[in-house]
A and B are shown apart, each in its own frame.
Chain A
Amino acid sequence: MHLFSEEFKTAHMLAGTDARLKLLVASGLLVMVLTYHGFLFPLFVGMASLLLCVWMRVPLKLFVLRFSEPALVALILIVIKMFFAGHDELFSVSLFGVSISAYKDGLIDGLMIASRIVGAVSVITVLGFATPFTDVIAALSWFRVPKGLIEILMFAYRYIFMLFEDAMVIYNAQKNRLGYSNIRRGLSSFGILAGSLTLKAFEHSQNTAVAMAQRGYDGNMPVLKHRPFKPSEVIVSIFLIVIMGLAWKI
């Protein structure tokens, strides 16, 4: 749950910036990364994002954890593209008595996709680190994302922490009683844990509905209202998009 830590999200200038602008800039950068044919721009975006994370004092462990899965996916894709796609042979190795070839054009394609992953993940990582979730929700609401989805997101985010604590209590109790000592017991314990969480979700939902109805809930959740755009923030955002657009074009 430390991955969700929002402590450092309020201690820098980006935290106070309008979430709508941050979403717009991130979307713009994402489109640029996805439409770029080459390595340089996505890697440049990745580098800039890394510097921003250092500036925001994002814990290194958190940063590495965020990148571990996309990095491994990128590695698999490089292997798949290198050995499965291409014509220009790079080298040949023998595996289980079979000679297999790696292709130069496949490798280049794979590296291009990997750089795209680095660039795109960096953008979203910075957005996630720089914006508290409630601000993201309010911004999505301003962008007319359907209300039903917004409400589910709000409920889900509110209760993730509570259910996670419940899950950890059950998990630790199971672990202390050797509930995960072998695969059979592990599966049984996990089924009970997941079932207990579902039961708790049912019970909490009933209690929540009663408590909210007592406070005037009529089936619609209010979301944060936005202040007007600050001209300085808008200008900086436009400047940033133009600069990155130029880098993308070059």
Chain B
Amino acid sequence: MNVRKVLAPTLLAAGCSLLTVSDAHAMHISEGILPYGWAAFWFLASAPFVAYGLRRLGQASEGDLSFKPLVGLLTAAVFIISCMPIPVPVAGTASHPCGTGISAILLGPAISVLVAAAALFIQALFLSHGGLSTLGANIFSMGVMGSFTGFVVFRLLRRFKVSLAAAALIAGILADWATYVTTSFELAAGIRGDAPLLPLFLKIMVAFIPTQLPLGILEGMMTAGMISLLHRKRPDLLVKMRLIEPEESVPCN
């Protein structure tokens, strides 16, 4: 592969992604991008995770009437957070976080898939961020990959006695980047036509690095900030959600 030949157009596409970052909502695949075969495939791939999430929701809300309202309210919170602009230093403008890292840490990955699905549905219908035909693909990248990566990383780091904020920071970053890598793959697979998949996938990933790399770090910092605030203000909630042991809770400020 001629590196110079690949590098120049990649820089051009990266420039375009920088131009558009002020309107980039996380990294959703827009309505109509995916051919129907791929759109259907990602629906099928997401379906078992949504079904598992619904089962977990049913189990968790059996003895707790406040659980469904809590999931709904956190969905609303995640939706609003993902609509809020945060500054991206490299691009010199603002972009929007996904919010699935924090929901996976707080509610677990299965229910976080439902949170993402509901937020994505409302965004698709009322904001044209993402889409209905690409809902399966967006649920898979943001809900499944983002949630499971964030949750597994957080739990793993906590097992190694990493502090709450540091674990949340890394989980938030990796959840965002996992979403971005998966979306790049979905996009490459969907638009490649007869071009080979791997080179296009790499080019799309490189093209979005200027925005998504710093955005991931910002999302990680935001996740760490949120967890730290919850730890300071309502440690009892973190104990209830089994994120910390009772002895780790500190008195409220």
Contacts and interface: CB of A to CB of B under 8 A. Distances in A.
Given A116-B32, A155-B71, A198-B226, A84 B203 contact: yes
B13 A109 contact: no
B36 A35 contact: yes
B205 to A, nearest CB: 12
A106 B177 CA distance: 28
A153 B30 contact: no
B33 A116 contact: yes
Nearest to A78: B16
A201 B198 CA distance: 42
B30 A117 contact: yes
Interface string A94-121: 0110111000000001000100111111
Interface string A144-186: 0010110111111111101110010001000000001001001
Contacts of A200: 77
Interface string B51-85: 00010011001100110111111111101110010
Contacts of B75: 152-153, 155-156
A191 B217 CA distance: 13
A77 interface: yes
A193 interface: yes
Contacts of B249: none
Contact of B225 (A77, A99, A195): A195
Contacts of A160: 76, 79-80, 122
A150 to B, nearest CB: 9
A26 B32 CA distance: 13
B234 A121 contact: no
Contacts of B145: none
A3 B222 contact: no
B222 A121 contact: no
Contacts of A109: 191, 193
Contacts of A72: 19-20, 23-24
Contacts of B79: 156, 160
Given A84-B195, A193-B84, A158 B72 contact: yes
Contacts of A116: 32-33
Nearest to A27: B132
Contacts of A68: 23
A238 interface: no
A167 B203 contact: no
Given A153-B118, A159-B76, A164-B80, A190 B33 contact: no
Contacts of A171: 84
A69 B25 CA distance: 8
A201 B77 contact: yes
Contact of B207 (A80, A148, A153, A210): A80
A152 B68 contact: yes
A58 interface: no
Contacts of A234: none
Contact of B222 (A74, A75, A148, A190): A190
B218 interface: yes
Nearest to B208: A76
Contacts of B89: 183
Interface of A: 3-4, 26-27, 30-31, 33-35, 42, 66-70, 72-77, 79-81, 83-85, 95-96, 98-100, 109, 113, 116-121, 124-125, 127-128, 133, 136, 146, 148-149, 151-160, 162-164, 167, 171, 180, 183, 186-188, 190-202, 204-206, 208-210, 212-213, 217-219, 221
Given A197-B80, A212-B69, 16 more contacts: A27-B132, A70-B128, A73-B30, A76-B17, A85-B200, A95-B8, A95-B12, A98-B8, A100-B12, A120-B31, A121-B131, A148-B57, A152-B114, A156-B122, A196-B229, A198-B74
Interface of B: 4-5, 7-9, 11-13, 16-17, 19-20, 23-25, 30-36, 39, 50, 54, 57-58, 61-62, 65-66, 68-77, 79-81, 84, 86-87, 89, 102, 106, 114-115, 117-119, 121-122, 124-129, 131-133, 191-193, 195, 199-200, 203-204, 207, 218, 221-222, 224-230, 233-234, 237
The 8 closest A-B pairs by CB, nearest first: A191-B225, A155-B72, A120-B32, A195-B229, A209-B66, A83-B9, A205-B70, A201-B73
